[in-house]
Each structure stands twice: as C-alpha cells, then as structure tokens.
Chain A
Amino acid sequence: MNTILEVQNLTKTYEKSDFSLNNVSFSIPSGSIMGFVGENGSGKTTTIGCILNTLIKDSGTVKIFGKEVADDSTDIRNDIGVVYDTNCFPEHLTPANISSAMRQIYSKWDNELFKEHLRKFKLPEKQKIKAFSRGMTMKLGVSVALAHHPKLLILDEATSGLDPIVRDDILDTFLDFVQDESHSIFLSSHITSDLEKVADYITFIHDGSIILSEKKDDLIYNYGVMRCKAAQFEEIDRADMLAYRKHDYQIDVLVSDRKAVEKKYRDVVIDNISIEEIMLMLVKGEKQ
C-alpha cells in the first residue's frame, strides 16, 4: 500500500508562545482515512498548517505523494483539497463566482462536478455566502475541496459545530471519496464519534506531541479499560498499563491488549473502550 502523506520529526515553535510541535511523525496509506484527535490547543491546526506549508516549519519533513512540500509545490497542492473549520471565502461571493475563479487556479477544476455537489448538498449557486448558515458554508467548503479531483483531503475540524444531520451528510461524502483506493483523508477533529464512524487510523496529539497512532480497529478491539479497586490496582504489573485514572471508589486502567490482560487478571472487570475514553485516559490520566 502506498503512503500518500508522510510526516517525519516535524517541529514548529512560535514567538511569544510556550506551545511547540515536538517531533511529530505519522503516515497515511492511500485509500484510508486518518483521524487526528486532540483537545483544543493540542497542535492539530499547527500540524495541518505545516503539512500545507501555510505555516513555516522549524524542522522535519513533510512528503505528500512522495514529494517534499515547499512554496513552489503547486503540482502537489493541485491534488489536495482543504476544508477549514470556518468560512474562508469572501462573503460577497456566490458559489458561481467561486467556480469562475477556481477554474483559473486548479488545473483539474471540474465545474460540472462542483455543481453536482452543490445540488447534492442543496446549496444555491447564485446566493451570496454571507446569507449561508454555518452548515451550508461547510458544505460549500467540501464541494470546493472535492471539485478539483483531489487525491488527498485535509480537513481541519470540518465537522465541528454542525448538527448531526449535516455531519452525517458530510461524513458519507468522505466515505464515498475513499472508495477510490488512490484517495486518502486526513481528518482532524475532537468529535470522536465522527472518527469512530469513518476513520481507519487514529492519531492522538497532546501538547504538541503524538501520544498514540494506531489502526482504529486495533484500538477498539484490542484496547480496554480495567475497572479496579485499590487493592487490585496494586497487584497490576505496571508494564501492562498505558495510563490510569483514579476515581472515588475505582481506578480505571488503560491497557493495550485486552485479551491477554483478561487471562492474566481474571478477577478484574475489563470493559471495551471508546475512542473518547482512550483520549481522556491518555490526556487526563497518569502515565506509566
């Protein structure tokens, strides 16, 4: 399977800010969706900015379709569709205006495909964007991103703040997109239910560092949470724990091999775990 996006040891610091991106590394195989999860301010948008070269990285490499991204990589950016979490288009424009400008910019801009997406999302072609709701604006962003036949979609919180119906429409569109094996999606979000629905891989970022990057199915089927009492917790081998959280009457322990742990600790209850719970355990729990 080809790698469509490869990020190696990416670092980025800001003047007048303590935040930094620390040696971020991950890769996305073609034909897959990677969910990029982290709390607000964890570095998701900074990572995306460095991938797209909208932010100047301090060090590290970003390769898309096997080529390093730079200011003059216009051929690479022709194959990338981007959706941000806010409306990026001037408000006085209509979707038809956007199309007439985009055909000058993207070499594979397909006006018919754009109109098809507008129809699918029930967006008026000749209405000014300033009259659009947030959901309509995000659908427009997705339509623009898809209308130039990209191979890679990069989405920065594209589904945040949307109602479940609109989110579902957009997620279905993403699933259609990756039916083509040469396509991939990098989807940053803190709505973990969206990622559980569509992602093949999940990467967690916290305080500018990658803390976990795994196949979603491995996380859901192999990871688990042990519900322990204090005495049980003391008997657990620390090597089996990824993180733990102490509650009033219980200690939750995150483990990466549920079946092995079930055999080893027969008197402890071990539950399945959701992506959201893994994120909370990794971010708020104490590490081993």
Chain B
Amino acid sequence: MMNRTHPIRGLLIYSFYSVRSNLQIALLLTCALAVALLITGNTWVYNFFVLSAIGIPPYLIMISMGAKNQLQWEKYQASMPLRRKNMVAAFYLSVLSAALVGLVLCGVVLGVSFIFHEYMLHHVTETAFGQPAYVFGMALLMFALLAPIGSTKFGETRGEMFFTVCLGGALGIMLLISWLGSRAEMSAAVISLLQLIIATVAFVVSYHITSKIYADTDF
C-alpha cells in the first residue's frame, strides 16, 4: 500500500496545527474589526483591520519557528523522507500563504465596505491605497531577513534579539523606499507597488540563501 506523498503539504499541515489556536484568536479579532469597519467606516478601524488581517498571521508563524522544541522538530524533519530544500520551501510557503489569505480577506471586506461607505473609497485611494500592500510587503521583508539569519548557528542562539532587529530592519527598508519615492515625486500607489516588488524579490532571494544554508546545516 503506497500513498502518493506531498512532503511540503505535510509540513504545511504541521505548521498550521502549531499555530492553530493563536490563529483562531487572530481570526476572531480580524472578524470583529471587519464588522466594526463595515458598520462605522472608521479609517482607524480600517488601519487596525489591515494590520490584523495581513500582519498578524505571518507574525504568529514566525514566532512559532522560535518555539522551544523547534530545533528538535527540525532534526526530526531532516530524518524524514524529504529533502532539506522541502523544509525551507515549507517555511516560506507557510508565511506567504498566511499573508496571502489575509490579503484576500482584506480585499473582500474592503470591497464590501466601499458599498456601505463611499467616502472609504476616497480615503483608501487618496491616502492609504497601499496599506494592505505595505503590510504584506513588511511581512515578506521581515521574514526574508529573519529566515536566513535564524538558520545559522549565530541566529539560533539569539532568536529574540534577531526578531526585533529584523522587524526594525524591514521597517527601515520600507521607510527608506518611501522616502526615496517621495523625493522622486512618486505617487503613494507607485511607492507601495515599489515596496511590494522589492519585498517580493527579497523574499525569493532569501529563500535561495536559506536553502544553501540548510544544505550544509548540522541538525
């Protein structure tokens, strides 16, 4: 009896179960903010909703990577019938899929909110069009910095410090792009798009770097 295997899917299932209870809380918060947004059309609620929907799930997955028995779990994974690059791909895909689900949720809720609150459309297009893209980009960029560092022996022992450094680093890069974009008189939408492209490229490059690190890692 041979099953058809999907190792990456198996690891994604693990990843999901590891953060499921925290994800449920985050989802409840996001749903509450979505309802509040649909009722009030408040721009502050809008900001928190975007942050909650797109930012928190990838953040929870990143935190779970620093869980106390994560090293043992990685060692166990390395003894299973999967390649080391599968392990890396599963890490990256879990963060990417969490952020993408948030982005889709955001799109749906914002679309409905425009029906009830026309001025929201004005607010979003004029001042915060790029916010979902910004938060999405931040999540990718932060993970792009965190994953390769966390994969080294150096990062393994300083997890919390690097978490903060990578968060600051990602924020710094996004602000720098924003500042350079403003100086070049780009619109907010173009700047957001630029930030998203740079974050995506960093995410892909980071995946290849982490794969190379994993190929020579002792678990």
Contact = CB atoms under 8 A, between A and B. Distances in A.
B9 interface: yes
B76 A75 contact: no
A54 B83 CA distance: 11
A92 B80 CA distance: 20
Nearest to A14: B218
Contact of B81 (A74, A89, A103): A74
B82 A74 contact: yes
Contacts of A91: 67, 69
B78 interface: yes
B69 A77 contact: no
A107 interface: yes
A2 interface: no
Nearest to B85: A71
Interface residues of A, number: 38
Question: DSSP class of A's interface residues: helix, strand, loop or mixed?
Answer: loop
Contact of A93 (B17, B72, B83): B17
Contacts of B216: 56
B158 interface: no
A90 B3 contact: no
Nearest to A15: B153
Contacts of A97: 13-14, 17
B157 interface: no
Contacts of A107: 2-5, 81
A84 interface: yes
Given A89-B73, A90-B17, A105 B5 contact: yes
Secondary structure class of chain B's binding surface, majority of residues: helix
A34 interface: no
Given A88-B72, A90-B73, A103 B83 contact: no
Contact of B84 (A52, A71, A80): A71
Interface string A73-97: 0111110101010111111110001
A86 B72 contact: yes
Interface string A22-63: 000000000000000000000000000100111110000000
Given A97-B17, A104-B13, A105-B80, A88 B5 contact: no
Given A92-B21, A93-B14, A110-B1, A87 B78 contact: no
A55 B79 CA distance: 10
B35 to A, nearest CB: 28
A154 to B, nearest CB: 8
Interface in B1-60: 1-7, 9-11, 13-14, 17-21
Contact of B78 (A54, A75, A100, A101): A54
Nearest to A73: B81
B76 A106 contact: no
Interface of B: 1-7, 9-11, 13-14, 17-21, 64, 67, 69-70, 72-73, 75-76, 78-84, 215-219
Closest CB pairs A-B (n = 10): A104-B10, A88-B76, A105-B10, A74-B81, A77-B81, A101-B13, A54-B78, A90-B18, A54-B219, A88-B72
